[in-house]
């Protein structure tokens, strides 16, 4: 009698447990189906450039950790398959938000956003054309690189001992000219007698993925008297750091903190909050607050900045740091106007 009751109770427990597990499986399946999935196509240079593309990837990883999103990325290599890569991601029913990383995506992502009005899109470094309308399902994320580069120019102009500094650009384009112009104006603002050497790796996107050419140009600038070189050249910039170590001169990184590429020889880096813009856009999409249009990020919005920490503060005299912070405030207030 008691044995029968025991088996009956055990059977009821097993049935209850099985039902509970089944409910959890259904719940988990539903959660997976409702999970946010994001697509991203890298710029020229791809993942592993330790700069622009890696910053974008970091934003995805952070969003996955914090929000539990899933993501899919495509590296189009030389960039010729941008349109098909975007279209492939947009055609995936599981993906609701797609990013194109780099100004080269502007036209392609405009067209794809129109073809897929039910999907949301984001473009980092979107090239704004005031004569054209941005699709409502596209957020154009642009940065005021000229503001961050002005501060970098001021740092270089106040730090140089030879009164000659360099600039290494990747692709000769309107976007990279913003880095160049801001840098030159920052140098001139604090040190009108300082000469700035300018060179570009290429007039095409290949300029962002040629470290050997970047090293060759950098060595030439160092040997011509520059003691500090700032780069905006993606993967090609790794050649600058090799040259800096060879010549025992200073380099300035871009997009991410690039101190680790040449410890002791990296004066600072001009950081763009690409990772943060990716992260915040995903958050807004996840929360149902995605809004298309132009979003411009400068010093005031903490979209650009320079690195000052324990790794490089020994290269920054207090008077340099103070002067640069004064300049920051003048840029934000509008007292200093920077030409693009």
The string of pLDDT tens digits covering residues 134-166 is 999 999 999 999 999 999 999 999 999 999 999
Report whether pLDDT(129) > 80: yes
The whole-number pLDDT of residue 154 equals 98
Query: Of the CATH numbers 1.10.287.130, 3.40.50.720, 3.40.50.300, 3.40.50.2300, which one belongs to the domain with range 36-143+275-297?
Result: 3.40.50.2300
The packing angle between helices 145-159 and 318-333, to 10°, is: 150
| Cβ–Cβ < 8 Å for 286, 69 | yes
| CA–CA separation, 258 and 317 (whole Å) | 20
pLDDT at 269 over 60: yes
The count of C-alpha atoms lying within 13 angstroms of the C-alpha of 122, restricted to the half-sphere facing its C-beta, is: 29
According to the model, what pLDDT value does residue 22 have? Answer: 46
Among candidates 269, 268, 222, 226, which has minimal Cα distance to 242? 222
**Encoding tokens for residue 237?**
């910039």
Q: Band of the pLDDT at 175, cuts 50, 70, 90?
A: very high
Residues of the chain with CATH 3.40.50.2300: 36-143+275-297, 145-271+308-333
Q: Write down the mean pLDDT value for the chain.
A: 90
| Res. 97: pLDDT tops 70 | yes
CATH classification (class only), 145-271+308-333: alpha beta
Joined together, the tokens standing for residue 129 give 């054309």
Question: How much is the pLDDT for 78?
Answer: 62
Residue 316 has pLDDT above 70, yes or no: yes
Res. 191: pLDDT tops 60 = yes
Residues facing residue 139 across a β-bridge: 122, 293
User: Average of pLDDT values for 13-34?
Assistant: 44
Contacts of 262 (CB under 8 A, 6+ apart): 241, 242, 244, 245, 251
Q: How far apart are CA 119 and CA 95, in angstroms?
A: 8
Cα–Cα distance list, 140 to 72, 78, 255 (Å): 21, 23, 18
pLDDT of residue 340: 80
User: Model-level pTM?
Assistant: 0.84
């Amino acid at each position: 009698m008691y044995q029968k009751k025991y088996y009956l109770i055990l059977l009821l427990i097993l049935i209850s447990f099985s039902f509970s597990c089944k409910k959890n499986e259904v719940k988990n399946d539903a959660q997976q189906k409702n999970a946010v999935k994001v697509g991203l196509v890298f710029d020229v240079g791809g993942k592993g450039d330790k700069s622009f593309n890696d910053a974008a990837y970091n934003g995805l990883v952070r969003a996955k950790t914090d929000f539990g999103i899933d993501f899919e990325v495509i590296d189009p290599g030389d960039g010729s398959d941008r349109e098909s890569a975007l279209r492939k991601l947009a055609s995936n029913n599981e993906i609701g938000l797609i990013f194109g990383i780099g100004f080269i995506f502007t036209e392609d992502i405009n067209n794809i956003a129109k073809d897929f009005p039910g999907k949301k899109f984001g473009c980092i470094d979107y090239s704004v054309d005031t004569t054209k309308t941005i699709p409502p399902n596209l957020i154009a994320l642009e940065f005021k690189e000229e503001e961050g580069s002005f501060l970098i120019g001021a740092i270089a102009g106040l730090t140089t001992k030879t009164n000659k500094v360099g600039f290494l650009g990747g692709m000769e384009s309107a976007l990279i000219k913003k880095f160049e112009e801001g840098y030159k104006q920052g140098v001139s603002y604090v040190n009108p007698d300082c000469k700035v050497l300018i060179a570009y790796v290429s007039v095409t996107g290949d300029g962002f993925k040629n470290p050997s050419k970047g090293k060759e140009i950098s060595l030439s600038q160092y040997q011509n008297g520059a003691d500090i070189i700032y780069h905006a050249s993606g993967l090609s910039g790794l050649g600058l750091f090799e040259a800096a170590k060879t010549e025992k001169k200073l380099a300035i990184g871009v997009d991410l903190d690039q101190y680790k590429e040449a410890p002791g020889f990296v004066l600072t880096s001009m950081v763009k909050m690409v990772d943060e813009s990716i992260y915040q856009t995903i958050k807004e999409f996840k929360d149902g607050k995605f809004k298309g249009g132009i979003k411009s990020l400068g010093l005031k919005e903490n979209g650009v900045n320079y690195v000052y920490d324990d790794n490089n503060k020994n290269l920054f005299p207090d008077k340099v740091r103070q002067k640069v912070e004064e300049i920051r405030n003048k840029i934000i207030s509008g007292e200093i106007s920077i030409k693009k």
